[in-house]
Amino acid sequence: MYWASGGKQVIDDTQKDAAAFGVEIEKQPEVKTDFEVFQENWDIVNMFLRCQTQWDMSFGGVVGLKYEILLLDGGLFDLYHVDNRQEMLEGLQLMESVALREINKEKK
Tens digit of each residue's pLDDT (9 = 90 or more) over 45-88: 999 999 999 999 999 889 999 999 999 999 999 999 999 999 99
- Judge residue 100's burial from the number of C-beta atoms within 10 Å of its C-beta, 0-12 exposed, 13-18 middle, 19 or more buried: middle
pLDDT in tens, 5-55: 555 666 778 888 888 998 888 877 888 778 899 999 999 999 999 999 999
- The residue ranges of every structural domain in the chain are 32-107
- Judge residue 92's burial from the number of C-beta atoms within 10 Å of its C-beta, 0-12 exposed, 13-18 middle, 19 or more buried: buried
- The residue among 37, 36, 91 whose CA lies nearest residue 65 is 91
Beta bridge partners of 64: 56
1, pLDDT greater than 50: no
